[in-house]
Amino acid sequence: MAQVIVPRGVWLACLTLVHCSSRSDPPLPTPPPAAVVQPQASSGDKIDLIDSFSHCEVRHRGLLLDLGSPSVDGRSGWRLGPENNTVVEREGSSWLRVASRSISYRFTLQETQPVFLSGKIRSLGGKSASVLLDGKVMGSLSLVKGQSKVSSTGVFANPLAPGNHLLTVRFAGGSREGVDPLAEVDWLRVGFPDEDSSMFAAPTQHDVLQNLASLGDVAHRSLALRAPSLYRCFLGIPGNSRLRMSLAMLGGSEGEAEIRMTEEGQPANVLKTSRLLGSEKPVWTDLDLPIHQHAGKLMALDIAVGGPPGSRFLVGDPQILVGGTPRKKIPRAKAVVIVVVSSVNPERLPPWAPDRPLPTFDALAREGVVFDRYRVPSSLPNGVMASLLTGLTPRQHTVEDAFARVPESLPTLATVAKDASIQTAMFTVHPMTAGAFGFARGWDRFAAHSPISPALGTRPIEELISWLNEQGPRADKGLLAVLHTRGIHPPYDLSPGEFAQLPPHPEQEYSGPLDPRRAGQVLARLRKKKKGPQRTWTDTDVLRLQATLDVALAQTDRNLSNLIDALRKARLWNDTLLIVTSDVALATNLQAIPFAPVQDPSEEVLRAPLYVHFPGGEHAGKRLQIPTTTQDLTTTAMLALGLDAALPPGGEDLFALVERGGMVTDRHQVASLGEKLVVRWGDWRLSARDGAAPQLCDLRVDPVCEKNLAESFPMVTEALWRQAFDHEKNARPPRFERPKREPATLDQDTAAALNVWGHGP
């Protein structure tokens, strides 16, 4: 047999007679020095359930909270920020050193259950620890200063109901709070009473995760689970996927493993029940289970093992594999052109609105790829554009309010491309992406046109076409151009006569407040009016604005046509990556006065159109339900220009995502505005704030999120909250050195432009 090496944490636990069973544990096999056969790789993507350990749960005779490990990240009440505690190494494990008077953690039950609490705690000054459940004192844990001790409460008088619960341990004694630590905690256990008389062995990360376990000549990364145990992960199931793993039982006994998937609120679907026989020379039992029937859903995947108390099971390389051909990277492009059309929502464009007379957008849908589930990461135009140019989230680049600028310290698409000798240019008519907001840095050519100037709708596109004609013959190293157009945002290029001919009553003079050149200012004033006898926004105003938006969108369609014609004439079209999208979408309900400078991050504001023409016209005509976000545009543009080495974290290559195809729900999308985070995962949407209970809704039946389903769907709530916590954590040191917010310095011209735009300070 292979040499037996027991993890250090297990040996030390045995010496202290705390973790180990009264029965001798079966040895954990380790790989021999010689090469071993590795599990077969997938030709597509995979979700590794061992890599997902920190987002999964291990339940062994209850639920374990391993306080020194990432598995409790995001469980500390409804907190999104860091704790005022530190992690230390002791006795081969990670412990939480507690400086505050109390620690709190959420946990979820799926059924009514009697429980008790136990924990392994080393007192540093605390004299006792009270245990509270959902704010009610339920018992206490005894402490001995300077000693590591496992103690337990009795079984609580009343069983706990299904749902989310809050466990609090409150320490008494010690010095003033925040001066000296009170205790160090290895783990807490929400225990389920049973008839097993053996000593509890805590399934901590050190105990469960095995780098490699070798049986025969095959080695797998493994989970080591004591019976009875449950390993649960909550995840989105991609299309065309299979679940693969290898199972083994150590020792000479007999046990069983059950693999099941459960959509919250629905009966469990048992995928496989396997009878396992232990022996002195155990072997792997390989499972390959189709799970395509659950594609597009958020599911709890359970791996449950049962057998004699103290028996051990190995789960080798549990993975969800997504079929399909290997994903290719985007072809190299001579030109990358990104057109951001301000304030357009998908419902105004083909193919979402097939009867709209917009031939260029219709052609883009036929000659390119349409992404139905594109979502921007902010409801602020400057925040979205900052994400486009940096490839970072708003939390990371700090452009999270209407008067923040892109920090000087951050590299951008422009600076990275310029360092590679790629010719770059940006043209904008949006005052929030002008030089005062940090968007001029790094371009070979940058032009910001004030909305005060005439010919607002055509001037930028004409300058871009002129620049492409100049640079086209010298495109060997690549061209990068970003265009931020007015789209349907006021002011508008209509003469008084043209404006007067628009609906609702062309034959009558319109007597409302709207004016094409001053529409932004008029709408801003109407938003500020208080309730009273003053004139308000009427149905006639809405009809006139709607007609004006249609004219502006038709002009945008013609401008895009001119741009594509110019790319064809310059013989660049076949080698161009063209991305057409919007910054933030206009809410479909125009009864609420539109174009507010700061909008709540609702789904209809965050959901924007996205058309992509890939070099060579590959994948033309496809329309995909793949969740995508603005960071993906940055990554795709950089890969198309050969800037692979400078890719920021977090984005995906859109071309590779199209290669995979199908319904993909293993990607979540996060947007932020100030303290508010909004997480979308499949059709679920969670609104989160630090310190406040979240709001959950199902967009399939409640598109405006009127009803809070957080208590009814605790597993979904927990999974999305953990994504929100990770989003915040990824913007904090040491994972990310977040720059300080830099305020925009508004000169007289910029202030005037914002005023005309309707976004005055």
Distance between CA 310 and CA 60 in Å, rounded? 11
User: What was the pLDDT predicted at 358?
Assistant: 97
For residue 524, give every residue at least 6 positions away whose Cβ sits within 8 Å of its Cβ, in sequence order, or none: 597, 758, 759, 760
User: What was the pLDDT predicted at 228?
Assistant: 93
For residue 678, give every residue at least 6 positions away whose Cβ sits within 8 Å of its Cβ, in sequence order, or none: 601, 606, 670, 671, 672, 685, 686, 687, 688
Distance between CA 189 and CA 192 in Å, rounded? 9
Q: Which fold, 8-54+204-322?
A: Jelly Rolls (2.60.120)
Q: What stretches of 383-528 adopt beta strand conformation (E)?
A: 404-405, 423-428, 445-448, 479-485
User: What was the pLDDT predicted at 35?
Assistant: 33
Q: Which tokens hold the place of 395?
A: 């939390």
Residues of the chain with CATH 2.60.120.260: 62-191
Terminal C-alpha separation, the chain: 75
Distance between CA 360 and CA 560 in Å, rounded? 7
User: What was the pLDDT predicted at 29?
Assistant: 62
User: What was the pLDDT predicted at 323?
Assistant: 74
What is the domain class of 62-191 according to CATH? mainly beta
For residue 357, give every residue at least 6 positions away whose Cβ sits within 8 Å of its Cβ, in sequence order, or none: 554
Nearest Cα neighbor of 578 from 347, 344, 369 is: 369
pTM, entire model: 0.90
Crossing angle for the helix pair 539-569 and 359-367, to the nearest 10 degrees: 50
For residue 336, give every residue at least 6 positions away whose Cβ sits within 8 Å of its Cβ, in sequence order, or none: 478, 479, 480, 481, 576, 577, 579, 637, 640, 641
Q: Which residues of the chain have pLDDT under 70?
A: 1-44, 174-179, 324-327, 454-456, 506-508, 530-535, 662-666, 760-761
Whether residue 533 has a cis bond before it, omega within 30° of 0? no
Tell me: the pLDDT tens digits for 486-527?
999 999 988 888 888 898 876 667 788 898 989 999 999 888
Count CA atoms within 13 Å of residue 619 on its CB side. 24
Residues of the chain with CATH 3.40.720.10: 335-757
User: What was the pLDDT predicted at 33?
Assistant: 41
Distance between CA 323 and CA 283 in Å, rounded? 27
Distance between CA 142 and CA 146 in Å, rounded? 13
Query: What residue type is 401 in one-letter code?
Result: D
Q: Which tokens hold the place of 426?
A: 């940006």
The CATH homologous superfamily of the domain defined by 335-757: Alkaline Phosphatase, subunit A (3.40.720.10)
Q: What angle do CA 312, 18, 317 make, to 5 degrees?
A: 30
Distance between CA 344 and CA 604 in Å, rounded? 11
